[in-house]
């Protein structure tokens, strides 16, 4: 699950549960259609209220297996102050050039969480720079055909939606893997916005709203 390999689609998120929350069912649908998908978390989530980094990594790997990803890896760009310097760009460029995706997915670069905003901007810029032949690294240049943004906290009109009604239960099972974040116990049982029962309901309601607006007859998206 940690070996980079060529994929059709590459999903980036700041934290271990970001992609799962916002595009988990889309990953399932793409995998079921025969595409290879990779997942990259840019931080270890070390600043989270709950869940030590090694726990979050284990949960993320379990979720990725349920979603059907070919691999999932974590970089170390600094949770709570995600780096966007040239060194960080080069790490993303290395992933893109090694995996050679046709499409890259990342968070909308204007979100409630600053790390999400930084992730969107960093991945967008690195995806372009990865195609510059004169930017020499150990790998040949490769530029994805497009960078696509998923939404997490803010509600803005999407350019398109993906009907994932048939795969939403799989997304739910993947989210259930992130126990430390959504259903913590013991010393981790600190109440926050994520642990409220209304949080998952909010996510599903948002997805259903997008689906209803996007495709006639569809119920869920992302």
Q: Read off the pLDDT band of 219 (50, 70, 90).
A: very low
Strands 37-41 and 103-107: unpaired
Q: Is residue 135 part of a domain?
A: yes
The answer to whether position 2 is within a domain reads no
The answer as to whether 187 is a domain residue is: yes
Q: Report pLDDT for 119.
A: 97
Q: What is the C-alpha to C-alpha distance for residues 215 and 160, in angstroms, rounded to an integer?
A: 9
Domain count within the chain: 1
Q: What confidence tens digit (pLDDT) does each residue in 4-54 have?
A: 789 999 999 999 999 999 999 999 999 999 999 999 999 998 988 777 899
**Residue 101 belongs to a domain:** yes
CB of 168 closer than 8 Å to CB of 32:
no
Output the pLDDT for position 2.
60
pLDDT tens across 170-189, in order? 999 999 999 887 776 776 66
pLDDT band at 198 (very low <50, low <70, confident <90, very high): confident
Residue 130 lies in a domain: yes
Task: Count the neighbouring beta carbons within 10 Å of the beta carbon of residue 53.
Answer: 17
Residue whose tokens read 């979603």 = 67
Three-state DSSP state, 152: coil
The pLDDT of residue 211 is above 90: no
49-107 per-position pLDDT tens digit: 777 899 999 999 999 999 999 999 999 999 999 999 999 999 999 999 999 999 999 99
Q: What is the CATH number of the domain that holds 104?
A: 3.40.50.10320
Q: Quick check: is 3 in a domain?
A: no
Give the length of the chain: 222
Contact criterion met (CB below 8 Å) for 220 and 165: yes
Residue 169 forms part of a structural domain: yes
Task: Write out pLDDT tens, residues 120-133.
Answer: 999 999 999 999 99
CB 45 within 8 A of CB 16: yes
Whether 222 maps to a domain, the answer reads: no
Range of the domain at 123: 9-214
């Amino acid at each position: 699950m940690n070996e980079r390999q060529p994929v059709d689609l590459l999903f980036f998120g700041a934290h271990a549960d970001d992609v799962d929350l916002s595009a988990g069912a889309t990953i399932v649908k793409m995998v079921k259609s025969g595409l290879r998908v990779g997942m990259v978390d840019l931080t270890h989530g070390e600043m989270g209220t709950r869940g030590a980094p090694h726990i979050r990594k284990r949960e993320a790997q379990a979720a990725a297996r349920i979603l059907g990803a070919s691999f999932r890896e974590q970089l170390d760009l600094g949770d709570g102050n995600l780096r966007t310097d040239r060194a960080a760009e080069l790490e993303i460029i290395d992933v893109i050039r090694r995996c050679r995706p046709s499409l890259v997915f990342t968070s909308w670069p204007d979100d409630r969480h600053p790390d999400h905003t930084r992730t969107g901007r960093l991945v967008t810029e690195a995806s372009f720079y990865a195609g510059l032949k004169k930017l020499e690294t150990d790998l040949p240049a490769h530029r994805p055909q497009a960078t696509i943004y998923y939404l997490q906290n803010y509600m803005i009109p999407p350019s398109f939606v993906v009907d994932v009604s048939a795969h939403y239960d799989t997304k739910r099972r993947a989210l259930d893997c992130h126990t430390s974040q959504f259903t913590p116990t013991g010393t981790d049982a600190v109440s926050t916005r994520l642990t409220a029962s209304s949080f998952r309901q909010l996510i599903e309601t948002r997805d259903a709203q997008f689906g209803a607006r996007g495709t006639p007859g569809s119920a869920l998206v992302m």
